[in-house]
Amino acid sequence: MAFDGITVSAIKAEIEDKILGGRIDKVYQPEKDEIILGIRSMGQAYKLLLTSNASNPKFHFTQTNPSNPMTPPLFCMVMRKHLQSGKIIKIEQPDFDRILNIYVESLNELGDYSVKKLVLEIMGRHSNIILTDENNTILDCIKHIGHDTSSVREVLPGREYTLPPSQGKINTLELDDNNFKEVLGNSPSFEIQSVIYKNYTGISPIAASEICYRANANGSTPVEALTDIQKEVIFNEFAKLVEDIKANRFYPESITNEKGKTIDFSPIEMSQFNGFEIKKYTSISELIESFYANRDFAYRIGQKTQDLRKLITQNIERCIRKKDIQMQTLRSIKNRDELRLKGELLTANIYSIKKGMTTVELPNYYSENQELVAIELDSNKTPSENAQKYYKAYNKAKRTFEALKDQIKSNDEELAYLESVLTSVNNCTDEQDVKEIRRELREEGYVKKVKNQKDKSKKHSVPLHFISQDGFDIYVGKNNIQNDELTLKFARPRDIWMHTKNIPGSHVIIVANGHTIPDTTLNEGAMLSAFYSKAKNSSKVPVDYTEKKNVKKPNGSKPGFVIYETNKTAYITTSEEEIKKIRRGD
């Protein structure tokens, strides 16, 4: 379900029950569009997340412990100044809309009590977090909206706070028979479900569809095609839902399809998803956090790796362009042996050639049939000079070829390295992974080093850890630094090393501990190797595996690059669902 007024009301009821009367003892801003309030209430500690993220604006209690910037952003400092140690005295949802107001009483600089209002507006890309004083003057906001951004409403410090422009909808909590009949009478040709969500605040399309479903009505039926009895039943179901909302009767649940993918959530029971797997939750916050966990992570990692992806992609494109030029040059000197042959034939027949000739045909004494070879001559040069011209052209082409071989090899290695780094970016599981890749690229010269800048981070991320059905530990490197450490320092000689064949991907180590690795474990390791590679969405991915003692790292090679021998190859088709079945280690 969209983060509609019903969802806001459900979460409001939950947090109101827990933190009303509590005190704010901490304020964090882990992201540019997100804050976390640490609240103590009735002897318990709570963390309330509010985010104005354009993709997933929301609020709920959270169990996560995100890392915070070394220096708090200005908005965070303003929040701390006005809200820290403050008491939460009221929480409201104006007009049953997607807006949350939290009123906080605290001491001002003069030692007097004053009330501040913290506002979260859930409005898609216009979402915002706003702090106002008791006079409704904006103290600060997480997103500054000036006249150049919006001609309708400025949201800036010092301005008076006003609600977003009204859409002319009826407050759902004020539903009655009269306004419902009036709404239907004004929209005879429109579908009944669209009439409901377009005319009442806080009702999403799926909620309107649920109201119709409960009334045994088709939501796509035009109003004029409904009988009076059908309209009455729809109104009654709508009214029952409103009564549940007013009484804070919510039944949080997630909806999972036949493929095992959670496709939606709802703060109310969803009868229309009959046949789907329904999971009940006792906490709406727990449901929301669980549902959004993957998409929040994907968005945050996407934001933090955007510049890295651009940098890596630009260098990959540079290598590809360079490879094209190299191959063109290679094609231009493919006849270098013919140049040498012509020089040798001219030398062998030098006394039969006269200066001034422009062409000559000479028998190829290297060939059994000694067919004639046509050779162009410079009429201004002697036969010897013409021969030398071909020798020089041959030697130049030979030198070019030798140099080109090394250049092509070097360029191919760089291209493979960059593609492996891009795969590592796709495999990032936390912010520390991103930092390590950034550090790796800096050490390899792709990211400029800033003078006197010290890397303050002492943390190191660890490889992914899985446990096979047979109880064997399987480790997966998440970046090239980890790949090197995992293969070259951690793995023992008889452990099994795995990697996709000629495809960028992670190093995978199966810890043998002196035992023979069963086929089921080998298959799980190969699945992980295929999944954490560039070919994760492909079928029949070739995965090479061998004992670690057969794996070597050439001197001077880039991070993650190794050579190996005496390997076997498995062909694997996997999916995210299959990977989820493999047990995670600690």
The CATH number of whichever domain residue 41 belongs to comes to 2.30.310.10
Would 287 be classed as within a structural domain?
no
Question: What pLDDT score was predicted for residue 568?
Answer: 94
Would 300 be classed as within a structural domain?
no
What region does 85 belong to: left with phi over 0, alpha with psi -120 to 50, or beta?
Answer: left
Q: What are the tokens at 6?
A: 């019903």
Would 401 be classed as within a structural domain?
yes
Would 293 be classed as within a structural domain?
no
Among 87, 120, 141, residue at a domain's last position: 141
- Per DSSP, 550 falls in state G
Question: What pLDDT score was predicted for residue 426?
Answer: 87
pLDDT in tens, 267-301: 999 999 988 999 999 999 999 999 988 777 777 78
Which positions of the chain have pLDDT values less than 50?
none
Same domain, 204 and 74: no
Among 450, 476, 495, residue at a domain's last position: 450
Asked whether 207 and 238 are in contact (CB, 8 A), the reply is: no
Domains of the chain: total: 4
Domain coverage including residue 535: 464-584
Same domain, 364 and 417: yes
Distance CA 90, CA 96 (A): 16
Same domain, 352 and 252: no
Distance CA 439, CA 421 (A): 12
Question: What pLDDT score was predicted for residue 499?
Answer: 98
For the domain that residue 370 is a member of, what is the CATH number?
A: 1.10.287
Same domain, 440 and 512: no
Same domain, 482 and 511: yes
Neighbour count for residue 527 (Cβ, 10 Å)? 25
Would 92 be classed as within a structural domain?
yes
Would 45 be classed as within a structural domain?
yes
Question: What pLDDT score was predicted for residue 152?
Answer: 84
Asked whether 84 and 26 are in contact (CB, 8 A), the reply is: yes
Question: What pLDDT score was predicted for residue 59?
Answer: 97
Same domain, 196 and 314: no
Same domain, 40 and 126: yes
Question: What pLDDT score was predicted for residue 110?
Answer: 80
Question: What pLDDT score was predicted for residue 400?
Answer: 93
Question: What pLDDT score was predicted for residue 151?
Answer: 79
pTM assigned to the model: 0.70
CA distances (Å), 484 to each of 27, 446, 481, 562, 585, in order? 40, 19, 5, 9, 21
Residues contacting 97, CB < 8 A, separation 6+:
5, 8, 201, 202
Neighbour count for residue 66 (Cβ, 10 Å)? 16
Would 163 be classed as within a structural domain?
no
Would 155 be classed as within a structural domain?
no
Same domain, 327 and 443: yes
Q: What are the tokens at 27?
A: 């304020």
User: Closest Cα to residue 162, out of 220, 85, 94, 78?
Assistant: 94
Same domain, 108 and 219: no
User: Closest Cα to residue 204, out of 10, 7, 54, 58?
Assistant: 7
Same domain, 243 and 334: no
Among 93, 121, 141, residue at a domain's last position: 141
Question: What pLDDT score was predicted for residue 458?
Answer: 54
For the domain that residue 192 is a member of, what is the CATH number?
A: 1.10.8.50
